[in-house]
Structure 1
Amino acid sequence: MSDRAPIVPDWLFHYQKQWARADTVAGLTTAAVVIPKALAYATIAGLPVQVGLYTACVPMIVYAFIGSSRVLSVSTTTTLAILAANALGNVVANGDPHALAAANATLTLLVGAMLVAAAVLRLGFVANFISEPVLVGFKAGVAIVIVMDQLPKLFGLHYPKGSFVHNVGAFFAGLPHLSMSTLALAALTLVALVLLERFTPRAPAPLFVVAAAIVAVAAFGLRAHGVETVGAVPAGLPSWTLPDVSLALKLWPDAMGIALMSFTESIAAARAFARNDEPAPDANRELLATGFANAGGAFLGAMTAGGGTSQTAVNRQAGARSQLAGLVTALIALAVMLLFAPLMALMPHATLAAVVVFYSIGLFSPAEFRAILKIRRTEFVWALTACAGVVLLGTLEGILVAIVVSLFALAHQVSNPPVYALKRIPGTNVFRRDSRRHPEDEAFPGLLLLRPEGRIFFANAQHVAEKIRPLVRDSNARIVVLDLSRVFDVEYTALKMLSEADARLAANGTTLWLAGLNPGVLDAVRRAPFGQALGEARMFYNLEHVVEKYREIVSPDVDANRTDDTDDDSARH
């Protein structure tokens, strides 16, 4: 990351004229997808629809001048919208528009400030601390919550919102009072989205369905039949909005969760759609860019922003080559603010809800759950836990559950490293884990080969020792060898554990050898009392070296046994 954000972005210095057409087309295409979705996501957050336009404009412009990804499309996402809804609902219960605008500005500024601070502290590596299974579960939970939140708009129902369980009960209780015209419009919208995505995947499906719905409302007078619309949308540029400092203490926990998800989603999308011939997205630079995008948008009415996977995919597929595509998308959003805002008044809530549901369902991927289960059942449980945390406890609490589960998973893996007994593949110098599937692998009588994996330190040294003991006890080996080729680091506690193991083995007439020590581990062992007791004679380059030495030691015994047998035979004759 550079020490300062450049006034003139780096990509402009390397821009090629032949990219201009592709960037323009990509920007126009992405705008057709981003703008309707941003309008819908604003309604998820409980904000006026024009906030979606501001969010599709201001953050996109700021990111284009600072961000490191050439194709990342920055506005808002379903995840960020539902998190913002939770945060704003906690501090503005009466829905007062002025209080809501101030609270939204405060929340968005806090998110931006936290991301910028994280960039200054170079905390980009934090994105790697949420495991993929946990993220899969979290997104699935968000999808369930969003769909449940939008169902009343699809059916034309009204009831006070509460917990997930409360909302489910209230929804079924209200079904007798549904609006058939609203439900029919929502169903047609969903069918149109499915067909457009299926047969014309490159077409801006959200733009088509929103435009068709506006025409239908105007042509058939659907509002007279109970179809609710967005209502008047202020035209023109966003007004300057000041945050309410008094809300900062209430909103900072939510802001921290939103900042984490904004960065996680942004860096994931940026990395997923980076081409091999493009610079790799820099995590700390992305923190800075999304931070300033949020901070800048906060004063101009935008909601919390981040890079979206689906819109970035559209941007890439449409041919985007640089951040200019994002600037084109932002200019289209600006044109809608200035010229087409009156048309937004006719937009049905049911259509916006259908767009949200259609694109939110994609967050729930049964295939990913099946793939996780196929590989490791434990991580499947982690994914389900994260999903349940979001659904039953809430989105912010779900983030905390996801983080805790990820850290627990990391701690579990680090504190419980595997220890394998090894055998050699016949006719090779390859050693692998002892397995019933390979009965032909070679063992060496009196020699036990063990291989621990990972870093050995205070949190797992005892577990390693506990795994070694039964293997030694069951083997009756004269020599126990620890192959440390897969151990990249040992610390004091681990060396003390090895020293104690050496003493116990020696008391039972067994010798401990070490093999495959990397330079760092070898240096640590030599500096410790354990290394001095071990001596260079009991440290080997690799397991093949161990086998050669073992055979040298065993051969005299074998020859002596053969001589004794010959003498006995002579005496018998």
Structure 2
Amino acid sequence: MLPRLRLDLVAGLTAAAVVLPKAMAYATVAGLPVAVGLYTAFVPMIVYALLGTSRVLSVSSTATLAILAGTQLGLAVPDGDPARLLVAAATLSALTGAILILASALRLGFVANFISTPVLTGFKAGIGLVIVFDQVPKLLGLHIDKQGFFRDLLSLIQALPETSLITLGLAVLTLVLLATMERLHPHSPAPLIAVGGGIALSWLFGLEHLGVSTVGLIPQGLPSLTLPDPALLQQLLPGAFGIALMSFTETIAAGRAFAVSGEPPIQPNRELLAIGAANLGGAVLGAMPAGGGTSQTSVVRAVGGHSQAASLVTAGATAATMLVLAPLLGLLPNAVLAAVVIVYSLGLIQPGEFRAIRRVRNMEFHWALAAFVGVLVFGTLKGIVVAIVLSLIGLASQVAHPPVHVIGRKRGADVLRPLSPEHPDDETFPGLLILRPEGRLFFANAQNVGDQILALTRAHRPQVVALDLSRVFDIEYSALQMLIQGERRAAEAGITLWLAGLSPSVLDYVRASGFAARLGSERLFFNAREVIRHYQANYPSPTASR
């Protein structure tokens, strides 16, 4: 027991060295004071540690949630008033938490699977590029008014002559330090070293007086009570839905990614409750929307963390930072924070993942690209809608176009399989066409399946068409009507229809429709092998061929 607690203590302190600088940096991404990042690494982490089902998941702000929150807060508080921003952030977090808790009560944990991996890859890459570009002006000591990705790019180019060379030099030094340490020592406290170095340089050389922008005053002490503003609920609600979905999706993905054999499985509905309560609890103490973070969780796992005790240690380190180190953090140059954001947001952009998707399925590669472009063109919040719509279109496309295979037999073996160029020697049976549709047959794909069966029947001109339904786990009324009408048309053309491999539930539906009685027991078979034996025994024909 003690060795495990010792490992959790080390893991929690190591994670704090990574989490705290990033949490402050992500607060700036959302347009909030850096102290809000500390609040988000405090309360939500404690609440999730008590309620979550993952042993090691570390919960605080993430790059994706920060940019989504920042977009929504920018719409709600266009003048950037700090006091109103804090209230709006608390309201947004409270709404996010309430939505997640409601989803848990409604058992909506399956919704996490509604954004496909390729679409999520494209969406995160778009988010990553937006975040990186959003930080570039801070690296240069510039300020531009945000009007959208492409307009901001033009504004940045026009403002380049005003670059602060001191700020740029500091930013380049920080980027080199972070990149080198991450390459040589992954999961090292590189952000903490960068932040400490930035504070030291700011204090030694008086960088603020040389025109280098710094974080400024950070309130010392634990967060104070912040109540949500009911007047903002309606305006923030649409964005809260998107943030809730992304928070849950990221949390489930990170939790599953770092689960190991022997640990309890991740429970999606319980995770909804845990993340919802974490956001709701964080809201009243001024936190921004939170979720499970992949990079910080990987640190916990890499240094031997075994339980949520590590998260409680990280939260304790956060509290100590707020109580003791807040005045020092005010000296931190914004360029250093921007560099931290950039280095740890680049991981959202995975060109290798795009290439891997393209190697497997070109269509899903196009979905990934569309989600990526959607974020850049329509913005981050609307980009979520684009991602969801693309995922649903992809799902609809797959279920609406199930394959219908022509089945043959491996020559010299009792193996039935779809005919393919890879097996040119597989045998078929003259006059008999065995077709195997796959998946659930229902109103959305019944016509497509019927058209495929008709086309294959016309191409092969068989005496008997045998439908092997062994891969059909459900059949809906519309699909049954398609089969009944197809059988009548086949009979008129002199073709006999047989059915084989019906599961008990599918057989019940076929009987209830009266179709089984129409076919008679002589046209219903246990499996496709019985079809072949019966056909060869009762329909003399030339030798099997291909």
TM-score, L = length of structure 1:
0.93
Q: Determine which of 420, 426, 432 is the counterpart of 1:447.
A: 432
The answer as to 2:131 corresponding to 1:157 is no
Q: Determine which of 233, 236, 239 is the counterpart of 2:218.
A: 233
Give the deviation of 1:544 after TM superposition.
Answer: 1.2
The answer as to 2:478 corresponding to 1:487 is no
Contact 1:496 1:530 in 2 (8 A): no
Partner of 1:288: 273
Which whole-Å deviations, capped at 9, do the CAs of 1:413-464 have from their partners, x for residues lacking one? 1111111112111122222222233221101111111111110011111110
The answer as to 2:202 corresponding to 1:253 is no
3-state SS of paired residue (1:383)? helix
Contact 1:26 1:325 in 2 (8 A): yes
Partner of 1:100: 85
Partner of 1:39: 24
Rounded to whole Å, the distance in 1 between the matches of 2:222 and 2:452 is 67
3-state SS of paired residue (1:454)? coil
Give the deviation of 1:517 after TM superposition.
Answer: 1.1
Give the deviation of 1:220 after TM superposition.
Answer: 2.3
Partner of 1:169: 154
Rounded to whole Å, the distance in 1 between the matches of 2:420 and 2:271 is 46
Contact 1:58 1:296 in 2 (8 A): yes
Q: Determine which of 524, 527, 539 is the counterpart of 2:524.
A: 539
Rounded to whole Å, the distance in 1 between the matches of 2:476 and 2:270 is 34
The answer as to 2:535 corresponding to 1:550 is yes
Rounded to whole Å, the distance in 2 between the matches of 1:223 and 1:99 is 26
Partner of 1:66: 51
The answer as to 2:383 corresponding to 1:388 is no
**Which letter does structure 2 place at the counterpart of 1:312?**
T
Partner of 1:410: 395
TM-score, L = length of structure 2:
0.98
Rounded to whole Å, the distance in 1 between the matches of 2:139 and 2:239 is 28
Give the deviation of 1:192 after TM superposition.
Answer: 0.6
Partner of 2:117: 132
Rounded to whole Å, the distance in 2 between the matches of 1:202 and 1:260 is 28
**Which letter does structure 2 place at the counterpart of 1:295?**
L
Q: Determine which of 250, 256, 265 is the counterpart of 2:250.
A: 265
**Which letter does structure 2 place at the counterpart of 1:465?**
G
**Which letter does structure 1 place at the counterpart of 2:249?**
T
Partner of 2:386: 401
**Which letter does structure 1 place at the counterpart of 2:143?**
H
Partner of 1:318: 303
Q: Determine which of 356, 376, 391 is the counterpart of 2:341.
A: 356
Q: Determine which of 98, 101, 111 is the counterpart of 1:116.
A: 101
Partner of 2:498: 513
Rounded to whole Å, the distance in 2 between the matches of 1:95 and 1:338 is 27
**Which letter does structure 1 place at the counterpart of 2:59?**
V
Partner of 2:261: 276
Which stretch of structure 1 is more off in the superposition, 456-465 or 526-535?
Answer: 526-535
Which whole-Å deviations, capped at 9, do the CAs of 1:472-527 have from their partners, x for residues lacking one? 01111001011111111001111111011111111111111111111111111122
**Which letter does structure 2 place at the counterpart of 1:476?**
R
Partner of 1:461: 446
Which stretch of structure 1 is more off in the superposition, 113-122 or 529-538?
Answer: 529-538
Which whole-Å deviations, capped at 9, do the CAs of 1:167-220 have from their partners, x for residues lacking one? 000011111111111111111111111111111224211111111111111122
Partner of 1:438: 423
Contact 2:430 2:542 in 1 (8 A): no
Give the deviation of 1:224 after TM superposition.
Answer: 3.1
Rounded to whole Å, the distance in 1 between the matches of 2:441 and 2:144 is 56
Give the deviation of 1:333 after TM superposition.
Answer: 0.3
**Which letter does structure 1 place at the counterpart of 2:145?**
P
Rounded to whole Å, the distance in 2 between the matches of 1:437 and 1:345 is 67
Rounded to whole Å, the distance in 2 between the matches of 1:27 and 1:196 is 20
**Which letter does structure 2 place at the counterpart of 1:67?**
G
Question: Structure 2 unaligned runs (5+)?
Answer: none
Rounded to whole Å, the distance in 2 between the matches of 1:255 and 1:400 is 13
Give me the identity figure in percent. Answer: 58
Rounded to whole Å, the distance in 2 between the matches of 1:270 and 1:436 is 42
Q: Determine which of 358, 366, 379 is the counterpart of 2:351.
A: 366
Specify the structure having the higher radius of gyration (Cα). 1
Rounded to whole Å, the distance in 1 between the matches of 2:48 and 2:452 is 52
Contact 2:468 2:500 in 1 (8 A): yes
Contact 2:247 2:291 in 1 (8 A): yes
The answer as to 2:314 corresponding to 1:329 is yes
Partner of 1:504: 489
Rounded to whole Å, the distance in 2 between the matches of 1:366 and 1:255 is 29
**Which letter does structure 1 place at the counterpart of 2:304?**
G
**Which letter does structure 2 place at the counterpart of 1:438?**
H
Partner of 2:131: 146
3-state SS of paired residue (1:362)? helix
**Which letter does structure 2 place at the counterpart of 1:275?**
V
3-state SS of paired residue (1:481)? strand
Give the deviation of 1:225 after TM superposition.
Answer: 2.9
Rounded to whole Å, the distance in 2 between the matches of 1:510 and 1:205 is 73
Rounded to whole Å, the distance in 2 between the matches of 1:373 and 1:432 is 27
Give the deviation of 1:366 after TM superposition.
Answer: 0.5
Is the alpha carbon distance of 1:173 and 1:362 closer, same or farther for their aligned partners in structure 2, counting shifts above 3 Å? same
Give the deviation of 1:558 after TM superposition.
Answer: 6.6
Contact 2:441 2:474 in 1 (8 A): yes
Rounded to whole Å, the distance in 2 between the matches of 1:489 and 1:535 is 21
The answer as to 2:65 corresponding to 1:80 is yes
Rounded to whole Å, the distance in 2 between the matches of 1:513 and 1:392 is 53
